[in-house]
């Protein structure tokens, strides 16, 4: 069997699409590290996003009960069927992960919890994370290779926080497992990648019981991140400045601080402090 992605794709007259951000992980050392980091057991159902040329899929199939691999590029379906022909526990689906509902997929395989493993295009990382973390059926964990810069934003500490880091840390315990050199991929990308793992919280363990209100406040705060929080909240929530000042005071926050400085606990306190003001605006 042809193993190198460059040869395999050429055999099927398929070439990487820049518009889809396609890079194919093929280094066996890094494939093994991803599988190890995911801690997959033989009772697990794995949702793989972007199986590409099937190198990682093959390794996942060797340890999991079931692998559901979703590939957006129809040109790669014959490639995957060829590579995975000997693995009866793999189902390859064509389509966009953002158009699949995880709870519907998992219901077919009696999987109340599942594991996500992915080598995802850099440009769509945030959308995929939101789609999975806000699903009605949550994965137990997510192990992914992403752009190094994006991974470092996910694990940022107060002072360097962003909407992405707050969002990821609200829903999960996230860590960088390792850094993957560009040479582990075909074609070689211009930047290095990082291997991240997100252990997803049960909804009862979220920092705030009302994610909708919490993220309404957070989005307002980061909507004008260069501005002091008192101004960002006033403009972003459409409330009076006096209301923003009072809420910040009640939350024991300096009105001159900026969104990137807050901890998740401080965002939670601020959301509670703004509950009446938000309610008035909504009504």
Question: Are both 41 and 88 inside the same structural domain?
Answer: yes
Segment 274-279 mean pLDDT: 84
Question: Are both 110 and 17 inside the same structural domain?
Answer: yes
- CATH assignment at residue 106: 3.40.50.150
- Contact between 239 and 184 under an 8 Å Cβ cutoff? The reply is no
- What is the value of pTM for the model shown? 0.91
**Cα 151 to Cα 3, 19, 20, 147, 167, distances in angstroms:** 29, 22, 20, 6, 13
Angle subtended at Cα 260 by Cα 214 and Cα 245, rounded to the nearest 5 degrees: 65
Segment 90-96 mean pLDDT: 96
Question: Are both 157 and 255 inside the same structural domain?
Answer: no
Question: Are both 14 and 113 inside the same structural domain?
Answer: yes
128-163 pLDDT, tens per residue?
Answer: 999 999 998 999 999 999 999 999 999 999 999 999
The yes-or-no verdict on residue 2 having pLDDT over 70 is no
Segment 236-243 mean pLDDT: 94
Question: Are both 107 and 246 inside the same structural domain?
Answer: no
Cα 89 off chain centre by = 25
pLDDT for 111 equals 74
99-134 pLDDT, tens per residue?
Answer: 999 988 888 877 778 999 998 877 889 999 999 999
Give how many domains the chain has, as a whole number.
Answer: 2
The yes-or-no verdict on residue 190 having pLDDT over 60 is yes
Question: Are both 245 and 128 inside the same structural domain?
Answer: no
Q: What percent of the chain has pLDDT over 90?
A: 80
Cα 57 off chain centre by = 19
pLDDT for 112 equals 72
Question: Mean pLDDT, the chain, as a whole number?
Answer: 92
Q: Which of 179, 205, 231 is the endpoint of a domain?
A: 205
pLDDT for 19 equals 85
Q: Which of 161, 182, 205 is the endpoint of a domain?
A: 205
């Amino acid at each position: 069997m042809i193993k190198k992605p460059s040869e395999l794709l050429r055999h099927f007259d398929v070439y990487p699409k820049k518009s889809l951000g396609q890079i194919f992980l093929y280094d066996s050392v890094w494939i093994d590290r991803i599988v190890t980091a995911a801690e997959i057991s033989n009772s697990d159902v794995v949702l793989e996003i972007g199986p590409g040329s099937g190198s990682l899929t093959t390794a996942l199939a060797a340890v999991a009960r079931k692998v559901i691999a979703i590939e957006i590029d129809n040109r790669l379906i014959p490639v995957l069927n060829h590579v995975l022909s000997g693995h009866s526990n793999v189902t390859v689906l064509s389509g966009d992960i953002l158009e699949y509902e995880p709870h519907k997929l998992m219901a077919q395989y009696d999987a109340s919890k599942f594991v996500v493993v992915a080598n995802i295009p850099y440009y769509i990382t945030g959308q995929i994370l939101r789609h999975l973390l806000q699903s009605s059926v949550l994965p137990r964990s997510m192990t992914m290779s992403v752009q190094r810069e994006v991974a470092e934003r996910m694990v940022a500490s107060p002072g360097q926080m962003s909407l992405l880091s707050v969002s990821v840390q609200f829903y999960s315990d996230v860590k960088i497992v390792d850094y993957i050199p560009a040479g582990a991929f075909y074609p070689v990308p211009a930047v290095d990648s990082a291997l991240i793992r997100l252990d997803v919280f049960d909804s009862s363990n979220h920092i705030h019981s009302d994610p909708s209100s919490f993220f309404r406040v957070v989005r307002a705060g980061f909507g004008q991140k260069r501005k002091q929080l008192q101004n960002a909240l006033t403009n972003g929530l459409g409330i009076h400045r006096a209301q923003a000042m009072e809420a910040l005071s009640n939350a024991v926050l300096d009105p001159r601080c900026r969104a990137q400085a807050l901890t998740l606990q401080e965002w939670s306190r601020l959301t509670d402090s703004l509950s009446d003001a938000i309610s008035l605006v909504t009504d």
